[in-house]
Copies of this chain bind each other. A is one copy, B any other.
Amino acid sequence: MLIVQKFGGTSVGDLERIQNVANRVSKTVKEGHQVVVVVSAMSGETNKLVAYAEHFSQNPARNEVDMLLSSGERVTAALLSIALNEMGLPAVSMSGRRAGIVTDNIHTKARIESIDPTGMFDELNSGKVVVIAGFQGVDDNGNVTTLGRGGSDLSAVAIAGALEADLCEIYTDVSGIYTTDPRIEPKAKKLDRISYDEMLELASLGAKVLQNRSVELAKKLNVNLVTRTSFTDEEGTLITKEENIMEKPLVSGIALDKNQSRISLMGVKDRPGIASDIFNKLAENNVNIDMIIQTVGHDGMTNLDFTVPKNEVLDAKEVMDKFLEAHEIQDISYDDSICKVSIVGVGMKSHTGVAAKAFSTMAAENINILMISTSEIKVSMVISEKYAELAVRSLHSAYALDK
């Protein structure tokens, strides 16, 4: 098989861990596979360089930040290649440029536009392990760019796509995707497989293992993604297309998001376009709206409830106050003490009663549901924050995820 293995900052955090990574790569090669490795900067390095830049400027030129930050991954790539060669495993390191990664020119958050895998294939075909500096590419003019947060994961997925690799393994400090957060429900089980869409829902609902950008790209390029830990030999979780998952569980996981606040608008003037005005203004001010509920009021008024991330409440308040001053809204209330519990599973598509079971589980625990939103493979409920853990454990048990 041709396998892309990506190791993040903590997996290459010091020289000893880089040696561990070399051992793992060597093991994979000895099992008969071709390996391309994508590495991040040693943990702490990127933050150090950012602090250096901020010493000189609160708003450093973004092209210079890219020149600066891209050096960290080059160091790790060269060191890992040296370690592999020393073990008798021919290896060569490549910058993003040498790996053929071309991006747009939006410095510090560039998007990959194309990958020319010729250079990588040449080295693979000559029997070498190819070690690539993640997180970086070059624009059309040859300037170094970086891909922003989670950029090395993106590099790995895009490279796996360009090479048509059989597998793209993302090594982190957690061992895979769980049915729910094991710190809340110790009976949580690691999933063997999960579909791209389920993973996307879980990620946007608060599961921190993978960023949506990477999962979306894997889905688009049809890359089989595995998330696993570099600290043990434990198998991870395969994220793949739905067709590859034989037995489709009704519910794959329970997600909890405590980072939401509810904003309630009462007595909203019932003129055409008012909701659109409100949400456009919020978007212009970079406030991210999640759930929205509109209820019919009386006297030509409606009520509007929505949730926003906790750290965007102040921005939202500023926008809302303008509508209040314009007498388009009668009253506003803010509620920080809520949370969002979600159940996710592709099985919902073909089974009825999944949502009903969630509601009856809440009822059985006397938990009041404040808001509900559903998609094809997800049911989300906003409840009082104090019931968060109870709700997660009850649902985990109701759908028999601990079995």
Contact = CB atoms under 8 A, between A and B. Distances in A.
Interface of A: 15, 18-19, 22, 49, 52-53, 55-57, 60-61, 63-65, 67-68, 70-72, 74-75, 77-79, 81-83, 85-86, 92-93, 95, 97-98, 142-144
Nearest to A97: B142
Given A56-B19, A60-B86, A63-B92, A79 B68 contact: yes
Contacts of A57: 82-83, 85-86
Nearest to A79: B52
A179 B181 CA distance: 74
A221 to B, nearest CB: 26
Contacts of A60: 82, 85-86
A131 to B, nearest CB: 9
Contact of A78 (B18, B68, B74): B68
B56 A78 contact: no
Contacts of A18: 56
A79 B48 CA distance: 12
Contacts of A52: 15, 75, 79
B93 A64 contact: yes
Given A55-B15, A56-B83, A85-B57, A68 B75 contact: yes
Contacts of A70: 74
A38 to B, nearest CB: 15
DSSP majority for the A interface? Answer: helix
Contacts of A78: 53, 64-65, 67-68
A302 B67 CA distance: 63
Contacts of A68: 74-75, 78-79, 82
Contacts of A93: 64, 67
Contacts of A15: 52, 55-56
A129 to B, nearest CB: 12
A63 B95 CA distance: 12
A83 B59 CA distance: 11
A396 to B, nearest CB: 45
A36 to B, nearest CB: 16
Nearest to A85: B61
B49 A75 contact: yes
Contacts of A92: 63-64
B85 A64 contact: yes
A123 to B, nearest CB: 12
